Structure 1
């Protein structure tokens, strides 16, 4: 077991060394004491993730890095149950729930380890097959019943102009990293896009790292479903800008369907997410920072407003 320290991604995160996770698992789930435990670096920004492998099945141990992530555990479990079996793609299945202990202050979960390669390690730019798969997943999530729920969050998925302060801060911090004047001008137009379409259920965070692919580059599983809930139907369309260049992105757009305004707002949500990734993770998670920069380059190359 390696306890090599990684750079801290958040100022308020807790340390989660492998030795701590081993003690937690052995104490709370003694039947798994003989399983091999290995960290999966780069598999999360809000959680520390470890593979717990054995002869019968492989599991995933997922521990929140900070209180904000820990507060969403109940919602993640509910979302996993709501989404389970509703599309042909695998989604997280909670096997067990751990309690605080051994100096770790939060609850944590054990899930089945889903097969596949994270899409953030694959060149997906021209993958029209993946574009169709992902659109199928988006449509399947949209078909889930709202049960009377409406968007009620300060995060992505409501009115774009409510993110003005965040975008302004990100652009200020990115003067040496991005073409800030061009991005500022584009945001002045994106932020004014009206919110017309009714809420639907969305995944909420379709970044490449949350998608698992098979050897042929096709979608097999979607991870991190804690953001599942009602939001602007444009929200999940941001994946088109994170994953694809223009031809494959057009395949994704057509296969998702919906209003033209939704597609334009999808570009705006991609902007909001990407502009925060570049500066925030530039030193601590270069892959996430590069994702943000690549997405913004696509947006600037093909502005819809």
Structure 2
């Protein structure tokens, strides 16, 4: 696997050769371990498995800021409060001439990515997800970093998503039922919000979850956008993963009112149409996930 940073405009190729060179120079104790790319449709990091117990993550848009260090601190602070494993940063690599940004080595987490078409025990997974979301909501830390750190604070607002969502729906007319999508979005946009904020992961999509062979939630990944925000941000599994016949159980476990449910549905639709608009021709896996989520939102 190779990953072209900065949306393909930089010419930077992140491959096993580059990662091996970085390891030799900065972490020689791990440099001889087997190294292989992890197949991923993600847009944030290139990931490589290092030996049996570690992974290497390199942001596709390298940065010399302390982003990786902030993530390390956030993960360490949250881990004691959560019922399943989350990433732990074992080491942070420094920028070099070959890779001009910080990168990290994580502990490898076991499990497989769940698929909505092959869930063995959806009610069990729904219950596990609700326990995780509830535990995260109850976290009380002095550092209340906003969800989507580094972006405008209004990113968490539904209104701030309106124009980009409408543009995406209009452009996808014919590929999706644009009329139904717009009606659904407007219903969600009108749902009231009292401003209450809790800790949210904000991207509980299948690619950021790991499950055991028995279908139990074993780990949650990618906390880059984690912070405090609208509780509806963590209802993504309902439309990305869980069948409709367990939605009521998921809602009840999290005490989700109608307005919060509608906002959660709208967030899923907004993310999905924007992803589909930008990646339908370049990232088939992401496009497939987005189409699935849109279909679930629209009841198709």
| TM-score (norm. length: structure 2) | 0.89
Match of residue 84 from structure 2: 89
C-alpha change, 1:184 and 1:7, in structure 2 (3 Å) is farther
Deviates more, 1:95-104 or 1:273-282: 273-282
Q: Does 1:169 align with 2:151?
A: no
Deviates more, 1:128-137 or 1:226-235: 226-235
1:40–1:50 Cα contact (<8 Å) kept = yes
Name structure 1 gaps, 5 residues minimum. none
Of residues 279, 289, 292 in structure 1, which corresponds to 2:290? 292
- Equivalences for residues 31-110 of structure 1 within 5 A: 31-42=29-40, 44-54=42-52, 58-67=53-62, 72-110=67-105
In structure 1, C-alpha distance between the alignment counterparts of 2:5 and 2:156, rounded to whole Å: 30
2:239–2:293 Cα contact (<8 Å) kept = yes
Q: Does 1:233 align with 2:228?
A: no
Aligned pair count? 296
SS at match of 1:119: coil
Match of residue 7 from structure 2: 10
2:134–2:254 Cα contact (<8 Å) kept = yes
1:200–1:231 Cα contact (<8 Å) kept = yes
In structure 2, C-alpha distance between the alignment counterparts of 1:150 and 1:87, rounded to whole Å: 17
Cα distance, 1:167 vs structure 2:
0.5
Cα distance, 1:223 vs structure 2:
0.4
In structure 1, C-alpha distance between the alignment counterparts of 2:201 and 2:168, rounded to whole Å: 24
SS at match of 2:54: strand
In structure 2, C-alpha distance between the alignment counterparts of 1:45 and 1:247, rounded to whole Å: 31
SS at match of 2:231: coil
2:64–2:101 Cα contact (<8 Å) kept = no
SS at match of 2:14: coil
Match of residue 268 from structure 1: 266
| TM-score (norm. length: structure 1) | 0.88
2:84–2:132 Cα contact (<8 Å) kept = yes
C-alpha change, 1:38 and 1:47, in structure 2 (3 Å) is same
SS at match of 2:81: coil
Match of residue 220 from structure 1: 218
SS at match of 1:50: strand
In structure 1, C-alpha distance between the alignment counterparts of 2:145 and 2:190, rounded to whole Å: 22
Of residues 17, 20, 23 in structure 1, which corresponds to 2:21? 23
1:130–1:219 Cα contact (<8 Å) kept = yes
Cα distance, 1:102 vs structure 2:
4.8
What is the root-mean-square deviation in Å for CA atoms of aligned residues?
2.6
1:118–1:211 Cα contact (<8 Å) kept = yes
SS at match of 1:168: helix
Q: Residues 145-171 of structure 1: CA distance to partner in whole angstroms, max 9, x if unpaired? A: 153737475478732121112112322
Cα distance, 1:48 vs structure 2:
0.1
SS at match of 1:10: helix
Of residues 128, 147, 152 in structure 2, which corresponds to 1:133? 128
Cα distance, 1:277 vs structure 2:
1.9
C-alpha change, 1:228 and 1:6, in structure 2 (3 Å) is closer
C-alpha change, 1:230 and 1:60, in structure 2 (3 Å) is same
Name structure 2 gaps, 5 residues minimum. none
1:146–1:230 Cα contact (<8 Å) kept = no
Deviates more, 1:222-231 or 1:274-283: 274-283
